């Protein structure tokens, strides 16, 4: 089975003025597409591994043949991270108030405002390209914030993503240039918290 580019649930201009149309279109049709092409090309040569789910492969990178490890980490991770990212965006934002996730965030971080500050610090702190995440940590059974370099996924760290922010320059440079903090601020307006709550409910099972 070949991986294909997932359709977005909203138009490329739907997240304006926070995420601009041109960035959304290039990010989805060019950047994400390249990860998929490279992932498919590598798995075409390893039919046994192609039958396993991407989540399984990404959770077990050290157990893969050496020829697959880097490509799964970078391009498999790129496909997984972007597929996830599109789903936690929503032009209307919202969906947090009154959710189980909201109370778990308050319990873990003290308040939503503290959580937001901690996420902002994490997203700003990524040196070069990478991601900031709120994850469900499978070891502790609780929430935590983490960052990953490049296209590394939380799955590599026994964690499941609840929300995540792509802080590669390709995600914001056209609109925000070097102003990553402005891009991070904009992201809070377009988070699909209903989707995040769904991820949380599945993760804690
Ligand atoms: Mn990206």
Q: How far is the CA of 107 from the centre of ligand 1 (A)?
A: 31
d(CA 202, ligand 1 centre) in Å: 25
pLDDT for 137 beyond 80: yes
Q: What is the reported pLDDT for 92?
A: 92
**Which pair of structure tokens corresponds to residue 17?**
């003025």
HSE-CB of 69 using CA atoms within 13 angstroms = 8
Ligand 1 centroid distance, CA of 82 (Å): 6
Q: How many CA atoms lie within 13 A of 1 on its CB side?
A: 6
pLDDT category of residue 1 using cuts at 50, 70 and 90:
confident
> Per-residue pLDDT for 85 more than 90?
yes
- CA dihedral of 112, 135, 132, 36, whole degrees rounded to 10: -140
- Taking the C-alpha atoms of residue 106 and residue 100, their distance in angstroms, rounded to an integer, is 10
Residues 108-124: tens digit of each pLDDT: 999 999 999 999 999 99
What whole-number distance in Å separates Cα of residue 95 and Cα of residue 84? 17
Q: How far is the centre of ligand 1, averaged over its atoms, from the C-alpha of 170 (Å)?
A: 6
Is residue 143 helix, strand or coil? strand
Instruction: Give pLDDT, residue 148.
Output: 98
Residue 98 Cα to ligand 1 middle (Å) = 31
Q: Which residues contact 48 (CB under 8 A, 6 or more apart)?
A: none
Q: What is the Å distance from ligand 1's center to 129 Cα? A: 9
Q: How far is CA 117 from CA 90, 112, 113, 190, 191, in A?
A: 21, 9, 6, 17, 16
Q: Ligand 1 being an ion, which residues bring their Cβ within 5 A of it?
A: 166, 168, 171
> In the predicted model, what is the mean pLDDT of the chain?
97
Q: How far is the CA of 40 from the centre of ligand 1 (A)?
A: 18
Q: How far is the CA of 173 from the centre of ligand 1 (A)?
A: 11
- 27 CA to centre of ligand 1 in angstroms: 6
CA of 31 to the centre of ligand 1 (A): 6
pLDDT above 90 (res 97): yes
Task: Give the whole-angstrom CA distance, residue 196 versus residue 91.
Answer: 15
Cα of 130 to ligand 1 centre, how many Å?
A: 9
DSSP state of 170: G
Statement: residue 82 has pLDDT above 90: yes
Q: Does residue 53 surpass a pLDDT of 90?
A: yes
What's this model's pTM, rounded to 2 decimal places? 0.97
Mean predicted confidence (pLDDT) in 79-92: 97
Backbone angles phi, psi at 12, to 5 degrees: -60, -30
Rounded mean pLDDT of 13-34?
98
- The confidence score (pLDDT) of residue 86 equals 98
pLDDT given for residue 93 in this prediction: 86
Give the lowest-confidence range in 35-44, 88-97, 150-159, 167-176. 88-97
Tokens of 174: 């056209």
CA distances from 60 to 55, 57, 71, 113 (A): 9, 5, 13, 35
């Amino acid at each position: 089975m070949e991986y294909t580019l997932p359709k977005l649930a909203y138009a490329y201009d739907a997240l304006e003025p926070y995420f601009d149309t041109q960035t959304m279109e290039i990010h989805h049709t060019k950047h994400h597409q390249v990860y998929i092409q490279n992932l498919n090309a590598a798995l075409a040569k390893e039919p046994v591994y192609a039958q396993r789910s991407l989540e399984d492969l990404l959770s077990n990178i050290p157990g893969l043949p050496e020829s697959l490890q880097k490509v799964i980490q970078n391009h498999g991770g790129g496909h997984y991270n972007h597929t996830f990212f599109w789903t936690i965006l929503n032009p209307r934002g919202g969906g947090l108030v009154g959710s189980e996730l909201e109370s778990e965030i308050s319990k873990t971080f003290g308040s939503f405002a503290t959580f937001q500050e901690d996420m902002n610090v994490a997203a700003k702190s990524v040196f070069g390209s990478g991601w900031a995440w709120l994850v469900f940590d499978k070891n502790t059974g609780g929430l935590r914030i983490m960052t990953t370099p490049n296209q590394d996924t939380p799955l590599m760290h026994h964690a499941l993503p609840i929300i995540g922010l792509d802080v590669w320059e390709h995600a914001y440079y056209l609109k925000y240039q070097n102003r990553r903090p402005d891009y991070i601020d904009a992201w809070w307006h377009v988070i699909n918290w209903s989707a995040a709550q769904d991820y949380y409910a599945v993760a804690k099972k």
